[in-house]
Amino acid sequence: MNIFAHSEHTDRGTPDVAGFFDPRTFSIQYVVSDPATKQCAIIDPVLDFDEKSGATATHHADELLAYINKEGLSVVWILDTHPHADHFSAAQYLKEKTGAPTAIGQHVTQVQALWKEIYHWPDMPADGRQWDKLFAEGETFTIGELSARVMYSPGHTLASITYVIGDAAFVHDTLFQPDFGTARADFPGGDANVLWNSIQQILALPETTRVFTGHDYMPDGREPQWESTVAEQRDCNPHLAGVSKTDYIALRHQRDSELPMPKLILHALQVNARGGRLPEPEANGKRFLKIPLDALEGAAWD
């Protein structure tokens, strides 16, 4: 299985992008680097978790660090696009290893407030302080000589953002590969109408913009893929090509009604709503996850 791909910069001011596929969660981690200065950002890193044994590990995050060391890169940002529902974030671990600041969109506070109630966490701060930086819509930052900006892309979650770095857009779970479709909108805080509007903003980027997705589910057993272009998404994505907003919303509602909840959603959000921090050890030195019963709809009994 192809679990690594490198997309080279196309011109000055555009990034090199290394993508690392995690077969356990179908997630892609990214190292986005400036070829001129060797500065880089890590996007959506994965902390390994085995739900059967309760074991945690840093295999995938360490894979990123090994690549960064081999390429002589320096990490200046650790970026999350949203609080993930299907894997733990390794942002905090990588901050401890690199000293780089962590960041996410400012609307993460809405996600924190929502899940704070679901987990019954009355004392958990819900002001985003778990990250070093909360990005606003349209805010800009740099990675070496690369210019980056933030697009607020809600619909899949309340906090989802897209990072546009040079000619590359990191669209998290809003879009999948053009042969698969788009993200679900039935998580707490999700909205198909809002998701459609966010997708249209992404499709308004230059058509040669490289689009990097957060997951790939390998339809028809093909090898993992995670890069496309705006033009390919616009013209080939079955949820978008020739589809009206009304039809899209109906399609999304129907499809979402048939999907089970991700198997790790209740595990992952209590870590990711806290910036990738695992629960504090209790008196016996062990950490414990808190799983609320009957908290979410969508149980699959068959």
Ordered by where they begin, the domains of the chain are 4-271 (3.60.15.10)
For the residues 287-296, what does the mean pLDDT come to? 95
The 10s digit of each residue's pLDDT in 171-229 is: 989 999 999 999 999 999 999 999 999 999 999 999 999 999 999 999 999 999 999 99
pLDDT of residue 298: 77
Per-residue tokens: 260: 């089970």
Percent of the chain with pLDDT over 70: 100
pLDDT of residue 77: 98
Mean pLDDT of the chain: 97
For the residues 226-249, what does the mean pLDDT come to? 98
Contact criterion met (CB below 8 Å) for 189 and 158: yes
pLDDT band at 300 (very low <50, low <70, confident <90, very high): confident
Instruction: Reduce the secondary structure of 87-115 to three states and give it as a string.
Output: CEECHHHHHHHHCCCEEEECCHHHHHHHH
Residues 6 or more apart whose CB falls under 8 angstroms from that of 199 comprise 155, 174, 175, 182, 240
- DSSP assignment of 106-160 equals TTHHHHHHHHHHHTT-TTS--SSTTSSEEEPTT-EEEETTEEEEEEE--SSSSS-
Instruction: Indicate if the pLDDT at residue 302 is higher than 80.
Output: no
| Burial label, 80 (beta-carbon count in 10 A; 0-12, 13-18, 19+) | buried
Integer Cα distance of 172 and 158 in angstroms: 13
The 10s digit of each residue's pLDDT in 68-123 is: 999 999 999 999 999 999 999 999 999 999 999 999 999 999 999 999 999 999 99
Integer Cα distance of 81 and 213 in angstroms: 11
Which conformational region is residue 102 in: left (phi greater than 0), alpha (psi within -120 to 50 degrees), or beta?
Answer: beta
The 10s digit of each residue's pLDDT in 20-36 is: 999 999 999 999 999 99
Instruction: Indicate if the pLDDT at residue 301 is higher than 80.
Output: no
Instruction: Indicate if the pLDDT at residue 157 is higher than 80.
Output: yes
Integer Cα distance of 242 and 230 in angstroms: 15
